[in-house]
Structure 1
Amino acid sequence: MNLIKVNMPGLERQITGKDVYIENKILPKLVNTHLMSALNFDGFKNISDLFCETSFIAGNKESLSPITKVLPNSSRTLIAEYHEMDYFIQANIMSNTHLGCDFFDSAVLDKMQTSYELNQRLEDEKRPIEFENEKIRFLINSRITNSKYRDLYPKFDDRADFENFFNVGYESCKIDGDKREFYREVLELDTEYSNYTSNIKREAEIRLEQSRHQKSFELGAHIEKVSIEYNKVVDEFLLAGKSIKNNLKSYLHLLLKLESTFPFILDHKELFKMGDLKGFDKDKPVPISLVKIFDSKLNTIVLGGAGSGKTTNLQMYTRSLCQNRENELVIYMTLDRLATLSTKVEEEDVLTGLFQYIQTLDPLLYSKSELDLLLKNSNSVLILDSVDEAIVNFDWILDALKAFSTKYTKCQIITSSRYTVRETKSLGFVNVSLLPFNDEQKRNFFQKWFSEEPDKASAIMEHLKENPALDQIVTNPLSATIMSILQSSGVPLPKSKLHFTERDSIF
């Protein structure tokens, strides 16, 4: 078995049943019992029986669409400070990766980096000097405070008086009895103060040297080239969208290129103008199933408002993966739980969180090194729900997720978030935004809920038709669930947003 484990780890897992074991542990958790319990619904509704296809658009619908033409403006330069260098370098990396050209003048960035590194070297030299002087200052003040001759010393903050005291002033001090003890104390303090003044002199030299280094730079931007290459990608994206079923991966890769570079264009509106893009409707649903996006094997983040169906879609996809068993490892959990498990052992990384989770299933299932090799060498899928909840308590989680996706390129990550988390763009994942239910999807949901009482489903749809203000509110799985429970419980259906909120508060 050890020989099989080393040479054919996939076969070893099939023989030992490790994959099936994890799947069997995860499947029972893919339920909506927490929601039903929160809404005080006594019955049971299987999530798979209620699931309805959700329409979506490519990209983040709450952000300005990157599907637009950009034109160069008259301005081609900006004033940049060297402490902003990382941003400009990142812009060039993204632009080179996705457009094949520099965004900013790389020669000027090299000068900025040289100046920055010289300044950092001087800062590194200055910092311990400042720290040492704080210690000396504290020591001298402490010695004087505790000295029986403290009334004879000038204040430390008056450097002229203090230096004069150590030079000649102490000799005129009137001391009763033997002066040797006083002179010995003055000599010790003078030694410390000499170190202090030497440090002050070196600090001044460092600051003078720093002042000679250029801090502001006139940074040129290659706006014509960026505009040309960006618009080429837009055209390719629109072309791929015309036959998306045959060009899905290309369509998503092109979308990723646009979403990765567009923020830098937006950051510098003074350099670019937005052109018109006739015939493109950014709110038009993508004409394929969300499952097809997940099946692309690209890292994906599903965006949507509260109750829009993010978790349901992720759970349903997890269920299908576990049942089909085409991947080496499939794990579903909330990102918040992963981060919690990681920090319990005082680490802040995704692998640790995954390992700790698997330990809760069975401590003997995988060692951490085995899990590391599995994720590096096999097709695995991690479905980590709710970025927006995790980031509240764990500000490191997005950086950790990005680092994990870079290291484990064979492992697909699917996650979700509300629109409120702007930092998700740093992940470099494909973005899809869930859309509100249309009439057909609402009808489908209610018919599934009342599969044995179709008249109740029809009654809800008729009620929504008669109350258009309410119809505009019942637009997602959560609000549809609330309406269904009201109908099931015999509670009069609301007729407006206010009434809906009142009924909602019952739960």
Structure 2
Amino acid sequence: MSKQLSVVKVLQGMNENEFTQKIVKPYFETLGYEWTQFNGGPYEKGVDLFAFKKHEVTDELMVVCIQSKVIKPEEQTKPKAELSQLINQLRQCLTDEQVMPNGEKQVAKEAYLAIAGELHPRLRSEIHSQLDLFGHRVVVLETPKLIELLQKKAPHVLESLDQHPSEIAKRKDFLSGNTALNNALYSKSDTNLTDIYSDLEFFVGKRKERAVIVSGFEELQRPLKISGADIKWFVNAKSLLLKKTGAELFTVDISALLEKYERQLLDYSSASVQKLINARDNNFQTLKESISLFREKVADALYAKSITVAAQKSLLDVAKNWDKFREFREVPIELVQMSGTTTVVNTIKTNLIDLKAIGEKIPNRPELELQLSKEFVSCELNYRAEVYLELLQEISSGYGDKSKVREFLNIAQELLSIQAILFASNSPLIRILDLTKFAKKFNKISFPPSLIFDSGVDIALFGGAGFGKTTTLQSYAARCQQYHDNGCVFVELAKYKESFKLFLPKKEPEVSDEKLGLKKSKGKKSRSAVDSELFLKAILHAFDYEPDKTNVEELQELLKTHVLILDGIDEVYGYVPTLLRVIKSFKKENPRTQLIISSRDNVEYLSEIDFIGISLLPFTEKKLKSFIYSWLGDDELAHKLWKKIQNKEMLETVSNPLLATIACALTKEGVEVPSTGSELYVKRIELFTGLYDQHRNIKRTQSPPEFLTEIAKQTAFLFHEKEVRSMDMAEACSTLSTILSTKFKPEKVERALKELISPCNVILRDERSNKISFGHLRFQESLVAQVLDIKQRYELLSYLPKTFWRGAFTLLAESNAVEGILDECLRTDEYSDSFEETLSAMISNSPVSKDKKAGYRELLEMLKGSSAQLFEYEY
């Protein structure tokens, strides 16, 4: 990175007071101004800085007034009104007398507007006419000019700006909240999610771990009847649990147990025993036939009026008893004679006596019985569950400190990991035990996530699309800035993925250190040391620091005392597939660094993340109401939306922060709020491609709304096919024009793409990199889902195994597409087990009844269990 670019980054990272005191004030002092008066701070009036020096001949005071303004890259077009106000203040300094330090009054000779950053050409043009007033001119000093002046007159000021990695922890660019989301929602207000952040409830663990078993463990202390096929599972489970807990699941010698079982089985299989079994079976068949004959004769007797209905009932009750209890029950002799069943009754009596005699000679079929360790059940399960409940109660009541939270997390994680092994989907215990006897506690935590983050433990934050992962981490980072001396290092992975792609290995087969360009020091570096160094270099590069040895060492030292937050693992995992391995390597080399990462919870690599996981839950009704009223800032509008949500039973639909935000944005624009998540996204596109303007009786696009929507869908689909969230504008325009060349002229496509950026604001463009994106990934997925919905079902199969497409398919499920896709899977020979995760997520998100969902899951089980084509299956 060039020296000038480094200086620009430092200047744009300052606040206005720092910029004035560290840059502007020293520069004018270097020019010979003897007195400077700084007016910064929260109560500043007039201008930021006055500088004075005496005229060399007349001793007249030369007065200069300066206003300072820091403009971030994303704000290049925004601060017109603020700049106009600053220019007006400076013009007043050139026309109105100012009070000098000696008490005299004097008009300023010169006025400067010093800007850390650069103005957008359009904004520069708009304020140009305001700079002159009756011969009095305000001079604008943008960063390039400032750097030029400093290089000539005050190089020591530039030298003081040499960046050190320690400054990364002081960055505040994330404090503005989810700016991409705000921009994509056309939000003109200053409200952002961090302003109105409300702690969401969460549960410890990844998805499918919402309930912790806290009692009923006595079920595990009785002898377990298992099969020979179960032995392998129990041996493997014992090994896994021994590694995790240091305790043995069972102490019995499996070889001796099997030997005894096989010996008993051999005896049971002997010719003499099998002969008895055959005799018993033959006798039993004769008994069944005799009892059937007895019932027929009783029916005949009733028909012939030889017996009464009451007598018939009495005889049939006896037959039922013979059938059920396999014991002979005497029948009144007069009823036997009247019904004509003497012979068959004698036969049944003989059969039952013989059956009992033979049965006493046949040994019971041998069974494998395994007794789990009572010590394991007592210490590893009962004790942990008791401690878990005690700590949860203590922390939820407000009495938990960091050590208590850390202990709670460890206990919860241990319980969940043991539970995950014992009750895995392939566990024989699910078949053997009565699971209803186990009491589960819904693993829902209501205290702030910041308590978890403050514990110092490595945390993985999970949540579905739009569940507030980024905002939760931004809010915690803001809290670190405000309350902790150390701050934190916050890395938006999607924003800086090019840096990680540049430095991290491209694939798992490890390449040599020489190919990575790393010089050998004393001895060869381990793979984890190499990975850790590359990881640190990627972070440095992301924040425009030179990734040299000195900076790597300084950043490594910094992270011993500063939390490292990596937001959006799921957004770059496909782009940098070695990221998780490298993170593990970094932790191995830097065990003192606390890491907090975030990811969606429907990804296949969850098992690779061995941090303690917490998963965000949707808004409670109370929190949702608070969010809506805070976001809208208008009680009347908020009451209107809240009433609509309650009346339409939409609480589930808008229960996550993203959908709640869209509902608020639509309400603010006077648009009717629909009832499903996918419809909300569709309504948003309608709003931004013309409905927004229609509500204001204006027209700002040449392309019709339908065409704009189509180009937005095609762009999103293109991004998804390449598995990216952003693309160079020129590349996207060229590719789309080629794809759509048979339908539309290239210039029409290009115009629509530009209009989707401005004025529609559906697509966002980075002014510096010229890359375009949809802001939030969920917006992109919603458009992709609309494209998938109009395709033939067989065309969708190739996308089902791809993790990146899962979010789009879950939205597609809301349009009742699950049945058609399952049908296609049943009819095709292309079905693969890799489809399962996406299909399962679709079923969960489908707006159908519980019974129908159960039917879908049965179909999915059939698909998993059979490779045969089931063309004729009806459902």
Q: How high is the TM-score relative to the length of structure 1?
A: 0.63
Task: From the two aligned structures, give the one with the greater helix fraction.
Answer: 1
In 2, the alpha carbon distance for the partners of 1:465 and 1:269 equals 43
Instruction: Within 5 Å, give how 1:290-305 maps onto structure 2.
Output: 290-305=449-464
Partner of 1:361: 544
1:346–1:305: structure 2 CA closer, same or farther, 3 Å change rule?
Answer: closer
1:18–1:320: structure 2 CA closer, same or farther, 3 Å change rule?
Answer: farther
One-letter amino acid matched to 1:262: Q
Aligned partners of 2:213 and 2:439 also within 8 Å: no
In 1, the alpha carbon distance for the partners of 2:387 and 2:434 equals 18
In 1, the alpha carbon distance for the partners of 2:436 and 2:392 equals 18
Aligned partners of 2:203 and 2:210 also within 8 Å: no
Instruction: Within 5 Å, give how 1:216-231 maps onto structure 2.
Output: 226-228=376-378, 229-231=380-382
2:637 aligned to 449, 456, 459, which one? 456
Shift of 1:295: 0.9
One-letter amino acid matched to 2:555: L
Shift of 1:79: 7.5
1:314 aligned to 462, 466, 473, which one? 473
1:421 aligned to 572, 589, 603, which one? 603
1:92–1:383: structure 2 CA closer, same or farther, 3 Å change rule?
Answer: farther
1:259–1:279: structure 2 CA closer, same or farther, 3 Å change rule?
Answer: closer
One-letter amino acid matched to 2:180: H
2:658 aligned to 478, 487, 493, which one? 478
Shift of 1:384: 0.7
Shift of 1:293: 0.9
Aligned partners of 2:178 and 2:470 also within 8 Å: no
Shift of 1:274: 6.6
Structure 1 residue matching 2:457: 3-state secondary structure: coil
Shift of 1:310: 0.7
Structure 2 residue matching 1:50: 3-state secondary structure: coil
Instruction: Within 5 Å, give how 1:334-483 maps onto structure 2.
Output: 334-336=492-494, 340-345=498-503, 347=505, 349=531, 351-359=533-541, 360-363=543-546, 366-375=550-559, 378-451=560-633, 453-468=634-649, 470-483=650-663
Shift of 1:74: 2.6
In 2, the alpha carbon distance for the partners of 1:326 and 1:93 equals 45
One-letter amino acid matched to 2:546: P
Shift of 1:404: 2.5
In 2, the alpha carbon distance for the partners of 1:425 and 1:226 equals 25
In 2, the alpha carbon distance for the partners of 1:394 and 1:106 equals 47
In 2, the alpha carbon distance for the partners of 1:399 and 1:274 equals 40
Shift of 1:296: 0.9
In 2, the alpha carbon distance for the partners of 1:230 and 1:41 equals 51
Indicate whether 1:261 and 2:418 are aligned.
yes
1:22 aligned to 153, 168, 173, which one? 168
1:399–1:496: structure 2 CA closer, same or farther, 3 Å change rule?
Answer: closer
1:287–1:325: structure 2 CA closer, same or farther, 3 Å change rule?
Answer: closer
CA offset digits 1:219-253 (Å, max 9, x no partner): x9966554442333222212222212433222111
Partner of 1:282: 442
1:373–1:42: structure 2 CA closer, same or farther, 3 Å change rule?
Answer: closer
Shift of 1:420: 0.7
One-letter amino acid matched to 1:294: F
One-letter amino acid matched to 2:447: I
Deviating more after overlay: 353-362 vs 252-261: 353-362
In 2, the alpha carbon distance for the partners of 1:477 and 1:346 equals 33
Aligned partners of 2:535 and 2:583 also within 8 Å: no
Deviating more after overlay: 70-79 vs 404-413: 70-79
Shift of 1:261: 2.8
Structure 2 residue matching 1:52: 3-state secondary structure: coil
**Structure 2, unaligned stretches of length 5 or more?**
1-160, 256-369, 507-530, 689-875
In 2, the alpha carbon distance for the partners of 1:230 and 1:465 equals 42
Structure 2 residue matching 1:433: 3-state secondary structure: strand
Aligned partners of 2:212 and 2:442 also within 8 Å: no
Shift of 1:439: 2.3
In 1, the alpha carbon distance for the partners of 2:163 and 2:437 equals 54
Larger radius of gyration: 2
Structure 2 residue matching 1:264: 3-state secondary structure: helix
In 2, the alpha carbon distance for the partners of 1:435 and 1:65 equals 13
Aligned partners of 1:59 and 1:65 also within 8 Å: no
Shift of 1:428: 2.5
One-letter amino acid matched to 1:34: A
One-letter amino acid matched to 1:39: L
Percentage of identical aligned residues: 22
In 2, the alpha carbon distance for the partners of 1:350 and 1:394 equals 15
Aligned partners of 1:386 and 1:416 also within 8 Å: yes
**Structure 1, unaligned stretches of length 5 or more?**
1-14, 110-219
Partner of 2:680: 500
Partner of 2:204: 58
In 2, the alpha carbon distance for the partners of 1:261 and 1:484 equals 43
In 1, the alpha carbon distance for the partners of 2:229 and 2:171 equals 56
Aligned partners of 1:32 and 1:46 also within 8 Å: yes
- Using CA pairs under 8 Å that are at least 6 residues apart, name the structure with larger relative contact order, 1 or 2: 1
Instruction: Within 5 Å, give how 1:20-99 maps onto structure 2.
Output: 21-28=167-174, 30-63=176-209, 65-69=211-215, 70=217, 71-72=219-220, 73-75=224-226, 88=236, 95-96=241-242, 98-99=244-245
1:494–1:270: structure 2 CA closer, same or farther, 3 Å change rule?
Answer: closer
Aligned partners of 2:653 and 2:675 also within 8 Å: no
In 2, the alpha carbon distance for the partners of 1:463 and 1:95 equals 51
CA offset digits 1:33-70 (Å, max 9, x no partner): 21122233344423332212212222234346343555
1:346–1:297: structure 2 CA closer, same or farther, 3 Å change rule?
Answer: closer
Shift of 1:430: 1.9
1:107–1:418: structure 2 CA closer, same or farther, 3 Å change rule?
Answer: farther
In 1, the alpha carbon distance for the partners of 2:473 and 2:162 equals 28
Aligned partners of 1:465 and 1:471 also within 8 Å: yes
In 2, the alpha carbon distance for the partners of 1:250 and 1:225 equals 22
Aligned partners of 1:340 and 1:353 also within 8 Å: no
Partner of 2:107: none
Shift of 1:429: 1.8
Shift of 1:80: 8.3
One-letter amino acid matched to 1:341: S
One-letter amino acid matched to 1:487: T
In 1, the alpha carbon distance for the partners of 2:621 and 2:242 equals 44
Instruction: Within 5 Å, give how 1:227-246 maps onto structure 2.
Output: 227-228=377-378, 229-244=380-395, 245-246=399-400
Aligned partners of 1:341 and 1:353 also within 8 Å: no
Deviating more after overlay: 239-248 vs 456-465: 239-248
Partner of 2:246: 100
Structure 1 residue matching 2:574: 3-state secondary structure: helix
Aligned partners of 2:464 and 2:601 also within 8 Å: yes
In 1, the alpha carbon distance for the partners of 2:465 and 2:185 equals 15
Shift of 1:410: 1.5
1:258–1:281: structure 2 CA closer, same or farther, 3 Å change rule?
Answer: closer
Aligned partners of 1:230 and 1:258 also within 8 Å: yes
1:501–1:28: structure 2 CA closer, same or farther, 3 Å change rule?
Answer: closer
Q: How high is the TM-score relative to the length of structure 2?
A: 0.38
Aligned partners of 2:662 and 2:684 also within 8 Å: yes
1:223–1:444: structure 2 CA closer, same or farther, 3 Å change rule?
Answer: same
Aligned partners of 2:466 and 2:656 also within 8 Å: yes
CA offset digits 1:308-351 (Å, max 9, x no partner): 11110001111111233433x62111345666423313537354
1:252 aligned to 396, 405, 409, which one? 409
